[in-house]
Structure 1
């Protein structure tokens, strides 16, 4: 939890309390439904929460922006982003029902009114969104196929254009090919100094 406060000192007390509640909630649900590696729970805030919040370091979106989190698993990056950015609307989807159940229970426990959780494949979502986020669910070209047509045409003047913000580690050079239209690749280590982030990147692209 210290790492969250270190990089996001502007958080309000209500947000801090929600972040503090996360580990106990996920520990409880992880014991029933394995959504996070049991060993990785020791690094819960660093590997899952802070990693998700790299997107919030890049942009705070705009008020009432709609964001689709594809392949959210147990709620990452969507749940930490929803706590940090309460003015933004998040729709979290995953094809696995038990994972979405965990997301729904965490949402209810924290009272996150800006979160909708749905069991669905990305291709089955009918709406279009201002932004799409995800965390290493597949290769970038494959992901681009899943979300084709899911971004709105335009965002308000001055806002980040409709785009995908994708968290990925390792060498991704071979993935930066059509239909992926790269806007920017950011090294997360520019924001967070912990060794875990040395190979982690945020890829901002359109399709």
Structure 2
């Protein structure tokens, strides 16, 4: 948790408390359902929480915005982002019911009032969003086909509505179809070696 405070020194006490509670909560529920890889759980705050908060380093969601976390799995990046942006609405979407049921319990335990998990496939969700965030679900072009009609026409931010992808490794082939994509290398924000090849990709809805 000290790693989070290192890069987000202006967190409120309530935010620190909720972020500090995450590891024990996930440690407990991960023994029931495989929400997160057990191989990476030892490095929970770096590989899961801080990685997801990389989005918060490159972009700020305006109050009142609505964000879909597509293929949320164990609630990442949606839950950490919802703590950082308490006045933004986060819809956590996943097609695996047992994961959504556990996420509901975690949200209840953390008293998160701006997070709503839904058991559904993203392409079947009849709702419009300002932004879509996702971490390591599948290739960008596949996700784009699922969400291309899910955006609100009017922007509630300084930038155009669009999607934010947390990625690692070489993604040059993935973004060839999206010449307007912007890549934000996370090693520009975090000094740990884990982030050398990690990045946030932003693609506008235009």
How much has 1:181 moved relative to structure 2?
5.3
Contact kept, 8 Å, 1:90 with 1:114, in 2: the verdict is: yes
Counterpart in the other structure of 1:201:
199
1:25-83 CA-partner distances (Å, limit 9, x unpaired): 00000011111112211100000000010011111211110000000000000000001
Counterpart in the other structure of 2:184:
186
Q: Describe the SS at the equivalent of 1:166.
A: strand
Q: Describe the SS at the equivalent of 1:203.
A: strand
- Note the 1:39-188 alignment, pairs <5 A: 39-156=39-156, 159-178=158-177, 180=178, 182-188=180-186
Distance in structure 1 (CA, Å) of the matches to 2:193 and 2:61:
27
Please list every run of 5 or more consecutive structure 2 residues that lacks an aligned counterpart in the other structure.
Answer: none
Distance in structure 1 (CA, Å) of the matches to 2:180 and 2:109:
37
Distance in structure 2 (CA, Å) of the matches to 1:112 and 1:25:
14
Q: Describe the SS at the equivalent of 1:164.
A: strand
TM-score by length of 2: 0.96
Distance in structure 1 (CA, Å) of the matches to 2:37 and 2:186:
22
How much has 1:177 moved relative to structure 2?
3.0
Distance in structure 2 (CA, Å) of the matches to 1:33 and 1:164:
28
Poorly superposed stretches of 4+, deviation over 2 Å: 180-183
Q: Describe the SS at the equivalent of 1:182.
A: coil
Structure 1 residues 31-40 or 76-85, which shifts more?
31-40
How much has 1:146 moved relative to structure 2?
1.0
Distance in structure 2 (CA, Å) of the matches to 1:87 and 1:57:
17
How much has 1:99 moved relative to structure 2?
1.1
Aligned length: 205
Contact kept, 8 Å, 2:175 with 2:181, in 1: the verdict is: no
How much has 1:154 moved relative to structure 2?
2.2
Please list every run of 5 or more consecutive structure 1 residues that lacks an aligned counterpart in the other structure.
Answer: none
Contact kept, 8 Å, 1:181 with 1:206, in 2: the verdict is: no
